Structures are given as structure tokens and as C-alpha cells.
């Protein structure tokens, strides 16, 4: 068994579950009353996405002694994904910390923002995969 491919496959599986948590959690919150639970799910999903994203680079470095060789659109897509993950984590954390004092409009807006960030990140992932 090729350990590098196993490591990538396991990391990708966990990364995909993080994407599901972020996307499904943020969209579900638009229709649910369980918003705090969903905020924890989105926050956790963003953290998983960030950690497993970094792990892709670590795995490459461990096996090849250099980071993945990507350029152009793939780099731009990676940057967009990273900005989405950090922004999503920040919005979800802020929601958990401060939302009880927010207006309903602000709360709803935060969930629309989180859903938008999730969809932008997933779209960027497709560009990253295709152009790398």
C-alpha cells in the first residue's frame, strides 16, 4: 500500500466532511431554530477545513521535501479557500460570542454570509483541483 496516497485519501475524506459541516450547517441555519448548535457545527467545520488543508501541504512536504507545485489559478483558488475558512470561522465564533445582542436582521445576515462563504469555498475547491 502506498502510504502517501493513503495519507492524502484520509486527509481528503476528513476535509470533505468539514466542507459538508460548513455548507450544510450554514444552509440549515437559514431554516432552523437550532442556530447555536449549527454555529458550533460551522465553527468546527471551518477549523477542520483549515487543519486538513494545512495537512495537505505537510503530507506533500513529508513525502517530497517540498510543498505542492501549483501556480496561477490554483494559487488564487487556494487563497480564496483560505480566506473563506478564516472568515467563516471568525463569523461563526462571533455569532456564538455576541449574537444574543444582535438584531434578527444581523443574525440572519450572518447566516447568509456563512452560506455564501461555504459556496465560494466549494467552488474554489473545484478550481484548485482542476488547475493543479
Residue-wise pLDDT for 2-32, tens only, equals 999 999 999 999 999 999 999 999 999 999 9
**Distance between CA atoms of 51 and 67, rounded to whole angstroms?**
16
The CA distances from residue 87 to 8, 22, 83, 94, in Å, are 25, 12, 6, 10
Residue 1 has pLDDT above 80, yes or no: no
Please tell me the total number of residues recorded for the chain in this structure: 132
pTM for this predicted structure: 0.93
Q: In this predicted structure, what is the pLDDT of residue 40? A: 98
**Residue 31 burial (C-beta neighbours within 10 Å; 0-12, 13-18, 19+):** exposed
**Contact (CB, 8 A) for 84 and 121:** yes
Amino acid at each position: 500500500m502506498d502510504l502517501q496516497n493513503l495519507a492524502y485519501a484520509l486527509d481528503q475524506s476528513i476535509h470533505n466532511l468539514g466542507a459538508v459541516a460548513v455548507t450544510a450547517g450554514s444552509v440549515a441555519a437559514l431554516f432552523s431554530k437550532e442556530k447555536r448548535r449549527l454555529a458550533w457545527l460551522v465553527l468546527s467545520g471551518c477549523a477542520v477545513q483549515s487543519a486538513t488543508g494545512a495537512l495537505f501541504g505537510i503530507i506533500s512536504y513529508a513525502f517530497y521535501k517540498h510543498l505542492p507545485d501549483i501556480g496561477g489559478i490554483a494559487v488564487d483558488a487556494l487563497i480564496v479557500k483560505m480566506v473563506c475558512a478564516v472568515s467563516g470561522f471568525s463569523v461563526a465564533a462571533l455569532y456564538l460570542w455576541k449574537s444574543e445582542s444582535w438584531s434578527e436582521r444581523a443574525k440572519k445576515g450572518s447566516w447568509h454570509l456563512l452560506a455564501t462563504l461555504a459556496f465560494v469555498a466549494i467552488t474554489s475547491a473545484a478550481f484548485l483541483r482542476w488547475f493543479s
